[in-house]
């Protein structure tokens, strides 16, 4: 049997080609495909692992982060020995172990408005494994501008969503884009805080597996890869619900990139880091005390140099809990901090008057522990 596949690849994927409707042409289609994966994280890792093992011949992975200990429960390409290493470098090594003949482009960078459209040239499928609305809307718009099929996934707590979007140049006339489901990026206050929402590690593997399956079906034509079908997985009930999203005839296709707000960022005024630096200086001089409103497990990851008592946001509605903590703080300035500054700002807005009655002046720390703290793990 002559084929364009190397002998080793034929042997490696032989069991797969025994499947009904899945033969040499389908395996060659995978081998000749080039996919771009955004993010080597909880979704990107299982997606890439599955696609490399299945036989996709070329993968570009884009990520600018390093492996941390808190990643490993869900980012299955990494181990404890990889902590501190670039994610894309480790991912590339693991993928080549799975499929020695694979071509992996490990891009240590972040996709943004300046480079994402060019990055999609020659890409057969864009796979969005990102974890922010900012990147998801950027990716969806770039995919629509270039007519690139987009396999999209998201995970939050115990559930995940998967869909295949395809709209723009070269897409079917009734092609559906992500903006047919989500016309506009949600307001930052309407989504759970990035640091506290949480995710069950095994859920990312399930959702990543579903994303990989949709990619394989689209590339090979096996089964039904329906554009616009939304799959919603619930880990607690082991169930998947399906919804068909229709093209919105009143929506104009995206033809140029827009502005993509950071959902978890706290705007800092023209003083830049000055407000935060001034608050940190007050703490270091003993002119203020701090109050940590993160969840207890977050303190194991990073903290500021002058940590304070912990009053988790999840406990604010417990009877007497806020009074209990505020009553023991000395009168004067209190620097309230969280991971990035979102929760601390909300705390200050809510309890400013309550604190003032006790002689306390609350200040929210812009940037939080992520900007002013040190990694502990």
Using the structure block, give the residue that is written with the tokens 């502990």.
376
Phi, psi of 12 (to 5 degrees): -65, -35
Q: Which of 37, 194, 335, 339 is catalytic?
A: 194
In the residue annotation, 45 being an active-site residue is answered as no
Helix axes 201-220, 24-31, angle to 10 degrees: 110
Residue 205 and residue 142 in contact, taking contact as beta carbons nearer than 8 Å: no
Starting at the edge strand found earlier in the chain, the sheet holding 332-337 runs: 288-292, 332-337, 360-364
- Among the listed residues 13, 95, 83, 84, the one whose alpha carbon sits nearest the alpha carbon of residue 47: 95
DSSP state of 310: B
C-alpha distances in angstroms, 73 versus 12, 41, 126, 203, 349? 29, 11, 25, 11, 35
How far apart, in whole angstroms, are the C-alpha atoms of residue 248 and residue 263? 25
Instruction: Single out the catalytic residue among 338, 360, 362, 365.
Output: 338
Q: Is 264 a catalytic residue?
A: no
Active-site residue set = 194, 338
């Amino acid at each position: 049997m002559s084929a364009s596949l190397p002998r080793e690849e034929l042997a490696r994927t032989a069991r797969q080609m025994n499947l009904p409707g899945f033969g040499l042409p389908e395996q060659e289609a995978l081998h000749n495909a080039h996919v771009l994966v955004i993010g080597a994280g909880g979704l990107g890792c299982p997606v890439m692992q599955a696609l490399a093992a299945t036989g996709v011949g070329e993968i570009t992975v884009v990520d600018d982060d390093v492996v941390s200990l808190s990643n490993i429960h869900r980012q299955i390409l990494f181990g404890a020995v990889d902590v501190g290493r670039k994610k894309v470098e480790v991912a590339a090594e693991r993928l080549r172990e799975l499929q020695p003949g694979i071509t992996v482009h490990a891009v240590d960078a972040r996709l943004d408005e300046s480079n994402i459209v060019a990055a999609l040239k020659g890409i057969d499928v864009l796979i969005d494994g990102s974890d922010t609305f900012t990147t998801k809307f950027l990716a969806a718009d770039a995919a629509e501008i270039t007519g690139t099929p987009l396999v999209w996934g998201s995970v939050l707590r115990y559930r995940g969503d998967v869909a295949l979007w395809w709209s723009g140049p070269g897409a079917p006339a009734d092609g559906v884009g992500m903006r047919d489901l989500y016309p506009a990026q949600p307001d930052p206050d309407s989504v759970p805080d990035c640091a506290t929402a949480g995710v069950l590690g095994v859920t990312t593997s399930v959702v990543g597996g579903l994303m990989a399956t949709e990619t394989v079906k689209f590339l090979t034509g096996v089964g039904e890869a329906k554009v616009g079908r939304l799959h919603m997985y619930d880990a607690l009930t082991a169930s998947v619900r399906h919804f068909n999203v229709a093209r919105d005839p009143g929506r104009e296709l995206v033809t140029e990139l827009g502005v993509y707000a950071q959902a978890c960022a706290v705007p800092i005024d023209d003083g830049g880091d000055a407000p935060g630096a001034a608050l940190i200086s007050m703490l270091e001089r003993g002119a203020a005390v701090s109050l940590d409103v993160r969840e207890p497990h977050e303190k194991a990851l990073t903290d500021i140099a002058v940590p304070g008592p912990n009053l988790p946001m999840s406990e604010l509605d417990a009877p007497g809990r806020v009074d209990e903590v505020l009553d023991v703080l000395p009168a004067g300035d209190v620097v309230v901090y969280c991971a990035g500054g979102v929760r601390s700002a909300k705390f200050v807005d809510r309890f400013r008057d309550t604190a003032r009655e006790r002689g306390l002046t609350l200040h929210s720390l812009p940037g939080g522990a992520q900007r002013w703290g040190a990694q502990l793990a």
